[in-house]
Chain A
């Protein structure tokens, strides 16, 4: 079972920032947080990952709280193409590399 919890759905207006929360209260010290998204009829797509520092790439920003029990994925200027299911996953690596446990994710709907 997934160890992260996410809201089942969220809405966002096009052009605005989308902030997707994730709780990972049982995360251990060596577990990274990974975010993937799945657009309809496609396979999941990697977005970003982090350990304890905030991270930013061309797709999104990841803010991890100091206690590491929660994080927020930020899409700074959401577009209609960002409508997708977003998954937050924690994984310790080692023998678990590549063996990701997906939960139900958050369905993000971006409106015009």
Chain B
């Protein structure tokens, strides 16, 4: 059973640029959630994808967008990067949402660390 893999592990961008982060979900999981973790803080929920559609969003602006593919992998895109976007971006996969508390058992990847200069 493979876990959640994310790429790239580290990247540096400048203000105004765009970035795409990628995530492969754990085998058997069809739901992907993305989190942003600033230094010294807990992870903050960005959005969730289920059946290739956004299924809930946290308090993040529209320049944060995502995709989910038929194989359940996912991308996080951030446009017009700002300095405050510097953070660890975590992808987590899980079972389908709804009806089962086990759906909150998330498997996280190691994250992609983004630095915006």
Contacts and interface: CB of A to CB of B under 8 A. Distances in A.
A32 B41 CA distance: 23
Contacts of B35: 102
A108 to B, nearest CB: 15
Interface stretch (B62-70, B71-79, B105-113): B105-113
Interface size class, chain B: 20 to 34
B111 A93 contact: no
Nearest to B40: A104
A49 B104 contact: yes
Interface string B15-50: 000000000000000010101000001111100100
Given A93-B98, A105-B42, A100 B104 contact: yes
Interface of B: 4, 31, 33, 35, 41-45, 48, 56, 58, 90, 92, 94, 97-101, 103-111
Given A34-B104, A99-B48, 4 more contacts: A45-B108, A49-B104, A93-B103, A102-B42
